[in-house]
Amino acid sequence: MSGDGEGIKGCPGNEPGELFRAGRLVKICAPMVRYSKLAFRTLVRKYSCDLCYTPMIVAADFVRSAKARDSEFTTNKGDNPLIVQFAAKEAQVLCDAARIVCPFADGIDLNCGCPQRWAMAEGYGACLINKPELVRDMVRHVRNQIDNPGFSVSIKIRIHEDLKRTVDLCQKAEATGVSWITVHGRNVEERHQPVHYDAIKVIKESVSIPIVANGDIKTLKDAENVHHLTGADGVMVARGLLANPAMFAGYEETPLKCIQDWVNIALEHGTPFTCFHHHLMYMMERITSKQEKKVFNVLSSTSAVLDYLNDHYGVC
């Protein structure tokens, strides 16, 4: 696990709970496998992102293996407020993982929304929405064992076909002391179907803790529309931020300055080439022609990418 513990928890007033209490829409970078790592979090924070999540980490591996801790979790002083998302199915394992990251992060999130087959087969992710007592038990354990009152414990869920079950889950989680709930407005079977924002609105009206809306938010205008439609206290964005890391600052497409910032940050962090290149492919999707994509997407070294950006965009 990398990171200088000094000051990583952030400045006073930077706790996630304070963000929600401030009364304005909280703009959040979602947990994304491979993508929402330290370098990318550093980038989106420059463009009005209020709160970032790590990629999902399997708590049992994290607790058991120093190697997993080093590869899965990296942070630094500027990386706050930060939520570490865990996949877990046992209360004590989640507590042990939370205790490890507590000095370096501002909260943990329990993944109850991942619909991938491997996660559900292992008892992780979205199958937990059908086990409200287990979710309650895990939240309660962390609450009881972490003595920092500012440390948040949140959950991220998908919705049930029968929304009453989702409302019941959320009310039980609220009663156990969960800090907020992120709701991806689709059920486990749905992938690209329209998001059920009406369901998020019903959930928001059923609890008194903050609710974060997630799903199909591509622009700042989308974020504001979803906020008005649902009453949600925050919005969480994944693909929209990959395509345009500056979206929360109001840019319709990735500005060249943001591409320049990514190059500088990625090189400074020693980001592996594949990750560095993939982010650029996403960021440049809307601003490059088909012909340019054919050339850019097959570049195979950092120096080739830097030469291309310099020659075509003046980014160096």
Determine the pLDDT at residue 14.
65
Catalytic residue among 29, 95, 114, 170: 114
**What residues does each domain of the chain span?**
16-246, 256-313
Identity of residue 162: D
Distance CA 237, CA 44 (A): 11
Q: Are 114 and 126 in contact (CB under 8 A)?
A: yes
**Number of other CB atoms surrounding residue 273 within 10 Å:** 15
Determine the pLDDT at residue 3.
53
Q: Is 170 a catalytic residue?
A: no
**What CA–CA distances, in Å, run from 17 to 20, 23, 85, 86?**
5, 11, 16, 19
Per-residue pLDDT of the chain (316 residues; tens, 9 = 90+): 655 433 333 333 468 989 999 989 999 999 999 999 999 999 999 999 999 999 999 999 999 999 999 999 999 999 999 999 999 999 999 999 999 999 999 999 999 999 999 999 999 999 999 999 999 999 999 999 999 989 999 999 999 999 999 999 999 999 999 999 999 999 999 888 999 999 999 999 999 999 999 999 999 999 999 999 999 999 999 999 999 999 999 999 999 999 999 999 999 999 999 999 999 999 999 999 999 999 999 999 999 999 999 999 999 7
Residue in the block written with tokens 């990625």: 266
Identity of residue 25: L
HEC sequence for the chain = CECCCCCCCCCCCCCHHHHHHCCCCEEEECCCCCCCCHHHHHHHHCCCCCEEECCCEEHHHHHHCHHHHHHHCECCCCCCCEEEEEECCCHHHHHHHHHHHHHHCCEEEEEECCCCHHHHHCCCHHHHHHCHHHHHHHHHHHHHHCCCCCCEEEEEEECCCCHHHHHHHHHHHHHHCCCCEEEECCCCCCCCCCCCHHHHHHHHHHCCCCEEEECCCCCHHHHHHHHHHHCCCEEEECHHHHHCCCHHHCCCCCCHHHHHHHHHHHHHHCCCHHHHHHHHHHHCCCCCCHHHHHHHCCCCCHHHHHHHHHHHHCCC
Peptide bond just before 81 cis, omega within 30 deg: yes
Q: Which residues pair with 53 in a beta bridge?
A: 83
Give buried/exposed letters for 166-185 (b at 16+ CB in 10 A, else e): bbebbbebbebebbbbbbbb
Determine the pLDDT at residue 2.
58
Determine the pLDDT at residue 145.
95
Q: Binding residue per annotation — 103?
A: no
Q: Binding residue per annotation — 21?
A: no
Distance CA 129, CA 107 (A): 21
On whether the 16-246 domain is CATH 3.20.20.70, my answer is: yes
Q: Binding residue per annotation — 132?
A: no
Q: Binding residue per annotation — 184?
A: yes
Q: Binding residue per annotation — 31?
A: yes
Determine the pLDDT at residue 185.
97
Using CB atoms within 10 Å of the CB of residue 35, give its burial: 0 to 12 exposed, 13 to 18 middle, 19+ buried. buried
Determine the pLDDT at residue 7.
34
Determine the pLDDT at residue 227.
97
